[in-house]
Amino acid sequence: MVDAITKAASDMAGASLLMIPNEPATALAESLLAATPGTGERRVWFGHSGSDANDAAMRVASAATGRGRFISFIGSYHGCLAGSMSISGHTAMTHSLPRPGLVLLPYPDAYRAKFSADDVLALLDYQFETTCPPEQVAAIFIEPILSDGGLIVPPDGFLKALQERCRKHGILVVLDEVKVGLGRSGKLHAYQHDGLEPDMIVFGKGLGGGLPISAIIGPAAILDHAPAFAMQTTAGNPVCTAAGQAVLDTIIGENLAAHAAAMGAKLSAGFAELAERHEIIGDVRGRGLALGVDLVTSRETRAPVAAVTTAKVIYRAYELGANFLYVGLAANVLEITPPLNVSAAEIEEGLDIIDRALADVARGIVSDASVQAFMNW
């Protein structure tokens, strides 16, 4: 990355795609198209974050289809711009009203089965029959693993059945791969676990390896609908796109998706062992190196712990040398997403730290007051 960034910064044709293309942006667009299955003529748009990419995808989907409504999921998080926030369904986003006409579906959760996959599909069918005529819907936004909603893996066949319904009604399928794409799930694209064929794919976060970049891949007929939908001065600049190329080359060249699958299996097995010693661990789920550890007050009731308890675990682990966050609608799920090149030794060290943190919190070593300034959502 250092070499790629240095070379790009030393020979910048310009910082903007608004006037002229640059070689790093063109090369990265070609590489993304080559690495992402799809048919027909496609385009790539660049941005700075998943927030602006999802926002642009939403706006162009509506304009190109002439439809104004969208479908997403309770617990979803698609960004913090006005548009991408308006199609999100996380409890942390209730300070901002959803987009008018948005249909929010439950994301089926095998651990807390309030709604089965069949229940959700039946609910969507009923919406189509009653308050949401499908010809009004431009697109559905799907996270192939519901990340901020609690690292929930969809039941087998659910997303495929959802895609079939959307195809029947001409509804675009948009896959938000911002958090779990590009190798993290154990496949290059997380939607490949479910055999999906999306119309648009949104990338962010990991593509830049720490630099701000996002990308949308979609049909030319949609992305070329009209100019200025993703017009941002420094989007696709040579420095960030050169970094993205180095990241993508490394993920593919070193087969980090397979490494994530192997290390994820080791990590999951390690948490299963911790669950034998810590009753607070109710469920361990995920794919590859995207794991959620669901903390509960009781394994019988599966009631989530209070957010302050989750925060104590994270704070104590941080003191001991491991850094991670929490997610979930009740803020009770440890989000374990180590680097794709994490080693087996580092996983063992991390598990040891979390083992100790759980024990220390159970013994009352961490006070409520000590974590108040460090609460997440």
Q: Give the model's pLDDT for residue 310.
A: 96
77 flagged as catalytic? yes
Phi, psi of 255 (to 5 degrees): 50, 50
**126/30 Cα distance (integer angstroms):** 41
Say how far residue 217 (Cα) sits from the centre of its chain.
Answer: 16
Q: Give the model's pLDDT for residue 363.
A: 95
Query: Which domains are assigned to the chain?
Result: 2-253 (3.40.640.10), 256-365 (3.90.1150.10)
Q: Give the model's pLDDT for residue 242.
A: 96
Q: Which two tokens stand for residue 137?
A: 């819907």
Per the CB < 8 A criterion, the answer to whether 145 and 20 are in contact is no
Q: What are 306's strand-pairing partners?
A: none
**223/59 Cα distance (integer angstroms):** 10
Query: 200-203 and 214-219: which strand pairing?
Result: antiparallel
Q: Which of 193, 105, 197 is nearest to 155 (CA)?
A: 193
Q: Give the model's pLDDT for residue 84.
A: 94
Instruction: Give the H or E element holding residue 351.
Output: helix 344-362
Per the CB < 8 A criterion, the answer to whether 52 and 79 are in contact is yes
Per the CB < 8 A criterion, the answer to whether 114 and 149 are in contact is no
Q: Which residues make Cβ contacts (< 8 Å) with residue 196, sequence separation at least 6?
A: 142, 144, 159, 160, 163, 173, 175
Q: How many other CB atoms are there within 10 angstroms of residue 372's CB atom?
A: 10
Q: Determine the angle formed by the axes of helices 344-362 and 307-320, rounding to 10 degrees.
A: 130
* Length, in residues, of the chain: 377
Q: Give the model's pLDDT for residue 318.
A: 95
Q: Give the model's pLDDT for residue 207.
A: 97
Q: Give the model's pLDDT for residue 15.
A: 80
The sign of the dihedral angle between the CA atoms of 192, 196, 199, 201 is negative
Residue 255's SS3 state is: coil
Taking the model in full, what pTM does it have? Answer: 0.95
Question: Taking CA 295 as the corner, what is the angle to CA 308 and CA 192, rounded to the nearest 5 degrees?
Answer: 120
Q: Which two tokens stand for residue 216?
A: 């949308």
Say which DSSP state 150 is in. T
Written as tens digits, the pLDDT of the chain (377 aa) is 999 999 999 987 678 888 888 999 999 999 999 999 999 999 999 999 999 999 999 999 999 999 999 999 999 999 999 999 999 999 888 888 899 999 999 999 999 989 999 999 999 999 999 999 999 999 999 999 999 999 999 999 999 999 999 999 999 999 999 999 999 999 999 999 999 999 999 999 999 999 999 999 999 999 999 988 888 999 999 999 999 999 999 999 999 999 999 999 999 999 999 999 999 999 999 999 999 999 999 999 999 999 999 999 999 999 999 999 999 999 999 999 999 999 999 999 999 999 999 999 999 999 999 898 877 76
Laid out side by side, the sheet with 200-203 consists of: 42-47, 214-219, 200-203, 172-176, 137-142, 69-73, 103-105
Q: Give the model's pLDDT for residue 12.
A: 77
Q: Which two tokens stand for residue 138?
A: 């431009």
Q: Give the model's pLDDT for residue 95.
A: 84
Burial 180-205 (b: 16+ CB within 10 A, else e): bbbbbbbbbbbbbbbebebbbbbbbb
